[in-house]
Every structure is written in C-alpha cells, then in structure tokens.
Copies of this chain bind each other. A is one copy, B any other.
Amino acid sequence: TPLEDAMNTLIRIFHHYSGKEGDRYKLSKAELKELLTSELTDFLSGQNDPLLVDKIMKDLDSNKDNEVDFNEFMTLVAALTVACNDFFEEQLKEEGF
C-alpha cells in the first residue's frame, strides 16, 4: 500500500546514508548533511544558513552522541511533515474548504 511504501522509503533512505561511514545504523554529521542536501532539496533551497545542519543535528541528537539514529531521524521527518501539512491545511482553508 502507499502508506507502507512511504514507510519503507524512509527506512531505505536513512540506511542509504547511514551506511556510508562509521556506525552503519547512525548518521554522522557529514551523512546527515548529505541526506538533507540530496533528499530535501525543496526544503533547503530557500535556506542560506551555513549553520543549519549543525542546528538540526544538535536538536535531533537527543542522546548527545553526535550521531543521529533512526528514531531521532523519524522525529525530524515527523516535524517536517507536520510543518508541510500545516501549510497545506492553511491553503485549503484560504480556498474555502
């Protein structure tokens, strides 16, 4: 189903980047940066903050090991998706739905 496909995609993307170096099941800062710049081009295109990746890493890395595990990654995806949805609902409401 599309929902199960979407969940599989999230798992696949995470491991595509997390497997590149160091702990195979966690994203280093370099891996996180590569994932964000390659996979969230629309989201990052309006951003000029060179410290953005550092900030995101700091926010996500709740256990302070300087790596982002899958759980922490899903927190980011959930927050971004909620932000996109807020924008989407706002637009629907403006259009009178």
Contacts and interface: CB of A to CB of B under 8 A. Distances in A.
Interface of A: 1-15, 24-25, 38-43, 70-71, 74-75, 77-78, 80-82, 84-85, 88-89, 97
Nearest to A16: B2
Contacts of A82: 70-71, 74
A82 B69 CA distance: 10
Given A11-B88, A71-B82, A1 B39 contact: yes
A12 B85 CA distance: 9
Given A70-B82, A78-B74, A78-B78, A9 B13 contact: no
Nearest to A24: B97
